[in-house]
Amino acid sequence: VLTSAISTPVIQFIVACAMGLLVWLALHPDILAGITPGQFIAFLTAAGMLAKPTRQLTEVNATIQKGIAASLSIFDLLDSQPEEDKGTYSVDRVRGDLEFRNVSFSYGEDAEPVLRDLDFTVKAGETVALVGKSGSGKTTLVSLLPRFYKHTQGEILLDGQPLTSYSLENLRKHIALVTQHVTLFNDTLAANMAYGEMAGADEQRIIEAAEAAHAMEFISKMPKGLQTLVGENGVLLSGGQRQRLAIARAILKDAPVLILDEATSALDTESERHIQSALEAVMEGRTTLVIAHRLSTIEAADRIMVLDQGRIVESGRHDELLALEGHYAALHRMQFSDAEDGPDDNAPPAGAEPA
Ligand code: ADP
């Protein structure tokens, strides 16, 4: 912008100086001896006409600069290292038994470990709620499962097989992920639910998934139903609608392992209720790790694990942990004192803003 903003005035300044010089010469005919007035006027006109093409030349420079900037980011992408994928094991469908054996993880070689000595199992079909203060490592823990990051120590087993032995494509086929940040493509609602491996899925299946995710309610109100375009990154959809789409994706994918990152805020009570029932539908019969913020999810979980500074400090059911009067009881008091007093247990935690 700086280059293109400066170039035109600079060129005009130079042209103006040149014209000024010509006019000065015109006022001193003795210097121009040998040139006829006709020649001089022709020269003056030609010089005046030069200004525009010269300015256009500078615009080319702006285009080139843009091209260079764009190609830099393209080459960056081309040069990026492919994900490490040495595994060869692949299986049609896993049961969903998960085991963490002394798993530690840090984001860099010299960085402080974010997860320390995690040691636990999750049986197939079980729902485990992860709770803990922000920054305690919940998101990091669940990102290890689809191998977004590689654990630095210990071993994670899925159905008794180390995660690293699965081929990346096969591993991710078994995992469905619903996070708070839902990425949407500038395409139809249907294509946003059924993409990648599910692309071209039967419309009936998409509708069933959308219904189970309570997404059909808003989709059927859209002008073109499933064929409505969502706009760049889904600008036309609200937070709750986006999340219901993500849940529909997960239902459609029908993966045995489910990772959920519950939304904390930006949802009104109505969406909150819809999402709650949608989540219950999708969790059924799957191994579920859920970063839980809602009391109802936490109470319904088979087990709650409380993370603090990368360690599991408490683990058990809601009542057991409350009775312990430890970390969980304190967290519970902090987050849910309002929700419990009110008539609606599903109300967002204190401090959450309605959308
Ligand atoms: P939680 O989900 O419980 O809020 P996170 O797993 O997001 O916690 O973060 C745990 C710790 O790891 C935090 O101290 C955070 O700063 C750090 N962390 C998270 N993501 C990254 C990253 N990509 N690079 C470096 N550090 C990170």
Say how many Å lie between the CA of residue 115 and the centre of ligand 1.
10
Q: How confident is the model at residue 43, as a pLDDT?
A: 84
Say how many Å lie between the CA of residue 249 and the centre of ligand 1.
26
Which stretch of DSSP H or E encloses residue 76?
A: helix 37-79
Q: Which atom of ligand 1 is nearest to the CA of 307?
A: 3
Mean pLDDT of 236-259: 86
Q: How confident is the model at residue 78 (pLDDT cuts 50, 70, 90)?
A: very high
112 lines ligand 1 (CB under 6 A): no
Whole-angstrom distance, CA of residue 143 vs CA of residue 146: 6
Instruction: Beginning with the edge strand found earlier in the chain, give each strand of the sheet holding 175-178 in spatial order.
Output: 175-178, 257-261, 287-291, 127-132, 303-308, 311-316
Quick one: what percent of the chain has pLDDT higher than 70? 92
Say how many Å lie between the CA of residue 112 and the centre of ligand 1.
11
What is the full DSSP assignment across 43-68?
Answer: HHHHHHHHHHHHHHHHHHHHHHHHHH
Whole-angstrom distance, CA of residue 266 vs CA of residue 185: 21
Q: How confident is the model at residue 267, as a pLDDT?
A: 61
Q: Which of 29-38, 73-82, 106-115, 296-305 shows the lowest mean pLDDT across its residues?
A: 29-38
Token pair recorded at residue 308: 């603090």
Whole-angstrom distance, CA of residue 352 vs CA of residue 355: 9
Burial label for 158, CB within 10 Å (0-12, 13-18, 19+), is: buried
Supply the residue whose CA is at minimum distance from atom 22 of ligand 1.
Answer: 107
Q: Which residue has the higher pLDDT, 343 or 216?
A: 216
Name which of 135, 174, 353 is nearest 265 in CA terms.
353
Say how many Å lie between the CA of residue 308 and the centre of ligand 1.
12
Q: Which atom of ligand 1 is nearest to the CA of 310?
A: 10
Q: How confident is the model at residue 193, as a pLDDT?
A: 85
Q: What is each CA distance from 7 to 4, 49, 61, 98, 329, in whole angstroms?
A: 5, 18, 9, 62, 66
Say how many Å lie between the CA of residue 204 and the centre of ligand 1.
40
Q: Which atom of ligand 1 is nearest to the CA of 134?
A: 4
pTM, two decimals, is 0.73
241 lines ligand 1 (CB under 6 A): no
Answer yes or no: is pLDDT of 68 > 90: yes
136 lines ligand 1 (CB under 6 A): yes
Which stretch of DSSP H or E encloses residue 206?
A: helix 203-212
Q: How confident is the model at residue 351, as a pLDDT?
A: 40
Q: Which residue has the higher pLDDT, 132 or 233?
A: 132
Answer yes or no: is pLDDT of 18 > 70: yes
| Other residues' Cβ atoms within 10 Å of the Cβ of residue 197 | 11
Mean pLDDT, rounded, of the chain: 83
Whole-angstrom distance, CA of residue 139 vs CA of residue 130: 9
Q: How confident is the model at residue 264, as a pLDDT?
A: 60
73 lines ligand 1 (CB under 6 A): no
Whole-angstrom distance, CA of residue 224 vs CA of residue 83: 39
Answer yes or no: is pLDDT of 234 > 60: yes
Q: How confident is the model at residue 107, as a pLDDT?
A: 92
Supply the residue whose CA is at minimum distance from atom 12 of ligand 1.
Answer: 114
Q: How confident is the model at residue 268 (pLDDT cuts 50, 70, 90)?
A: low
What is the bridge-based pairing of β-strands 311-316 and 303-308? antiparallel
Name which of 335, 343, 348, 295 is nearest 319 in CA terms.
295
Say how many Å lie between the CA of residue 134 and the centre of ligand 1.
9
Helix (H, G, I), strand (E, B) or coil at 82: coil
Mean pLDDT of 54-59: 78
271 lines ligand 1 (CB under 6 A): no
Say how many Å lie between the CA of residue 158 and the centre of ligand 1.
24
Burial label for 211, CB within 10 Å (0-12, 13-18, 19+), is: middle
| Other residues' Cβ atoms within 10 Å of the Cβ of residue 196 | 9
Mean pLDDT of 266-279: 70
Name which of 219, 211, 213 is nearest 188 in CA terms.
219
| Other residues' Cβ atoms within 10 Å of the Cβ of residue 141 | 25
Say how many Å lie between the CA of residue 317 and the centre of ligand 1.
26
Token pair recorded at residue 130: 């992860």
114 lines ligand 1 (CB under 6 A): yes
Mean pLDDT of 154-171: 92
- What would the pLDDT profile of 308-354 be if each residue is shown by its tens digit? 999 999 999 988 888 888 888 888 888 766 554 444 444 444 444 43
Strands (E), 198-329: 257-261, 287-291, 303-308, 311-316
